Every structure is written in structure tokens, then in C-alpha cells.
Amino acid sequence: MSSQPSDAAAGTQAEISAEMAEIDKTHTSTGHARPQPVLNYPPYRSSILRHPTKDLHHADPEEIERWAPCFGPQDVGALEADLTVQHPGEPIGERIEVTGRIRDGAGRPVAGQLVEIWQANAAGRYIHQRDQHPAPIDPNFTGVGRCLSDAEGRYRFTTIRPGPYPWKNHRNAWRPAHIHFSLFGTDFTQRLITQMYFPGDPLLALDPIYRSITDARDRELLVARYDHEVTRPQWSTGYRWDIVLTGPHRTRFEEDDA
Amino acid sequence: MRRSTPGQTVGPFYHYALPYPGDHTLVPPGSANAIRFHGTVIDGAGDPVPDALLEIWQPAPDGSVVRRAGSLHRDGFTFTGWGRASTDTTGHFSFSTLRPGGPDAFFAVTVFARGLLDRLFTRAYLPSPEPAPFLKGVDAERRGTLIAVAEPQGFRFDIRLQGDGETVFLNFGTDER
Ligand SMILES: [Fe+3]
């Protein structure tokens, strides 16, 4: 059996939306906290055969897990944070800045750590062999960026606002516009890959990947906000999105000691 | 503690973004003491997962935690202890690395995949006559999923996301809300 349902076999948006509403109702009524997102989330069809069925086993981090891999200036070029200057011409679309702070669960900045992003172009097309969405490739836009967070945990990218794109989860399924983010903390246990969304997107309510975070307070943490202070005159609009990692397990004393 | 930002699936389109030249070669293959750490990722139907991404993080052979940059632009001499590998069309991944050292040594492993809504953590312990203290706290029938298999060139570690022989995945106390 293929884990990627064909269009013919897929349900409608109304069916998927009804499934999502039912899960929300169950989670609200039972009221107990769950890890977010829920790994077993059948409205996201590809999760059905790919989620563990056993409870995660509790582990206290061992020494190696209380440290994170190190990245440095030799790993990331200064221009990699600007996705609009990677080709000879200007990419098409709405130029935006995306910036924010990365902190750990105790509010401490995550400094000097690698941030990677990838995204579709303004038309909702990835430069990826398997993306067959018949929307134009932009020869001046790859959609990949990297940077290191600064001493205050800040990151900043200049890019193009991505478009929404269709996918095959169900009939007429569309992903809300998003930027994929990959983040490291100061502990191995803080590793995070997630997606940043845009405020006011009507597709968010219809999207089983976003809705797999069944607690509204939690999923809204993935939505950036428009910030006129970030907007640059005559150049780009600005979005702010702060990220909070878990933990850490390691104390500042150990850090100083090292 | 603040509410932490939830994860989301890595999705199907990370291949042009996250992999990079040298991502899975922590040391050049064939160099002194290089070993292979490899395996297959399998889904609940027993099918290979061709769009998974794995990362490993490990101590050096002397057991120390490496704190050296250079994982993204490897110079061929600096061992950073961190690497990344995508599975191929047969669900197989492979790293060229060094044997992790220290008592109860393991590779810390993170798994990402299309269809997997958040990352999963696990450990690949090196086989040893006396199981690590942590392993003694894991159900005897499932313990084996956390132990790599010794091979002439290194270690094999298969990952089953679901079903028979489901790998033990870990929670470090960070996922509860
Ligand atoms: Fe995407």
C-alpha cells in the first residue's frame, strides 16, 4: 500500500475538516495535555503509517545530549541570509524581511546557532524535482537560506513571500503559505524543525499539518506577525516571528565551566 | 517555562535545502579508523521510507564531547561529531564516522520524515556484553531496537517508525504540555 494516497482515493476538504473538528472536540473534552503536534493525526494521511504507536520512552539526557553541535562563521556565508541576491536577477514577488529571537524555555537567548530555511517561490513552486505543481519556476529564486543567530539570539532573513501550493492529501488540498525553519538549541534535545505561517491566512483552518497542533494557543505560536518596525522603506515589508525552544537541561554553570 | 514553539513535519521538499556536500561524511570514508553507521527506515506497512532525514550527534572516540564548528564545510581533518543523511529510494541512510567512545557509548539520532509531524529522538548504543544502565530500564523485548548491530565495517541500525519491532523513541521531558 502506498503511503501517499492518490487523488482518486482522497476525501474532500469537507470530510477532512470534519475529521479535524472531531479530534479537536475530543482533545478539548478530555482536557489532558498532549505533546504538540499530535504524531497520530489521520487527517494528515501520510502520518498514518509513520507515527510511533508506543508511548515515547522517558530518558534523562546523557552527557552528549546535553550539548548541541557547534556551527561557526566558516559554516555559513554572509550572503546566505538574503534569498533575493543568490542569482543575477531580482526574484519575482513581494520582498519581505523575516526576523525574530530564538530563546530557550528559560528565556535565555540561543546565540551563534544555525538557522536554516527553505520555501516555495511567490507562485507556490519549489525548486525540487518532485514538485510537479504547474506554477512557474523563478530562475532568480532558489528558496534556501542560512544564518547564525547573533549574541541576543536574533536571526534575520530577506526573502520573497511564498505562495500557497496544492498537495495530494485530499481533493483540493492547499498548504497555507509557509517557510520551513530548522533550528538547534544549546542542547541536542532542543532540536526543532517547524514551519512559519503568515497572519490572516484563510488556508490555516483547512490545513491538517497546522491543525495537528490541536491546542490553538500552541499552533498560533507558528504564525508570524506583521511588524512595521521591521518593514524597510522603499524595499520590503517586515514580519516578526520569535521562537522558543524547550529546556535546556544544561545549566549556565556547566556552560561557564566548559 | 515559556510555551515552546511546536514542531511540524519536514515535508517532502527539503532535499534541495537541508542536504549538503559532505553532510554524512563526518570523516572521509576509508580514512584511518573510519566506520560506517547505516541502516534502513521502515514504515508501519514494512515499506522503506525514501523521504526521511537523519541526524547523528556523538562523542569522539575518546568519549569527549566535540565542540568544533565546521560540519557544513568539512575540511577533511576536523571531527565535529555531527552529521546529516537523507534516505535513498530504498529507505537506506549511511554515515562515515568514528566510533563513539566512553562508557555506554551511543549515537544520538534524530529522525525527520514527510508524514512524521515532529522529530523523533532515539539512541543507537554500541553492542556490549553488559547493557548500559539506561537499557536495563527498557522492556527486554524492545531493548534491542536501541542497539546497533556490529558489522565488519561498522554498525547497522534500522529504524522502524511503527509496528513490529517499533523502535523505542525518546522523550527528554520536553514534549509534555
Ligand atoms: Fe512546504
> How far is the alpha carbon of A167 from chain B, nearest alpha carbon, in Å?
10
pLDDT at A4 over 90: no
- Which has the closest alpha carbon to A181: A114, A130, A126? A114
- Expressed as residue numbers, the domain containing B34 is 14-160
Q: In this structure, is residue B1 part of a structural domain?
A: no
* CA A14/CA A16 separation, integer angstroms: 6
- CATH number, domain of B66, equals 2.60.130.10
CA of B90 to the centre of ligand 1 (A): 23
Beta bridge partners of A155: A100
Residue among A41, A180, A221 whose CB faces B14 most closely: A180
Q: How far apart are CA B166 and CA B177, in angstroms?
A: 25
**B170 domain-assigned:** no
Q: Is residue B141 part of a domain?
A: yes
Structural domain count, chain B: 1
> Are β-strands B120-125 and B106-113 bridged in parallel, bridged antiparallel, or unpaired?
antiparallel
Residue A3, pLDDT above cutoff 60: no
**What is the model's pLDDT at position A154?**
98
Q: Is the pLDDT of residue A95 over 70?
A: yes
Could you say which residues from 34 to 73 on chain B have a Cβ atom under 8 Å away from some Cβ of chain A? 43-45, 47, 49, 55, 57-59, 65-73
| B53 in a structural domain | yes
Answer whether residue B168 is part of any domain: no
Rounded Cα distance, A49 and A54, in Å:
13
The answer to the question of residue B172 being in a domain is no
Residue owning grid cell 476525501: A11
Residue from A103, A178, A211, A250 carrying the catalytic annotation: A178
Residue B175 in domain: no
Higher pLDDT, A158 or A254: A158
User: Least CB-CB distance to A128: which of B7, B15, B43?
Assistant: B15
| B94 found inside a domain | yes
Nearest to A211 by CA among B163, B8, B176, B2: B8
CB contact under 8 A, A75 and B119: no
Please indicate, yes or no, whether the overall pTM of this predicted structure exceeds 0.80. Answer: yes
Q: How many CB atoms lie within 10 A of CB A105?
A: 17
* A255: three-class secondary structure by DSSP: helix
- Pairing between strand A114-119 and A165-167? unpaired
Indicate whether A238 pLDDT > 70: yes
pLDDT at A70: 97
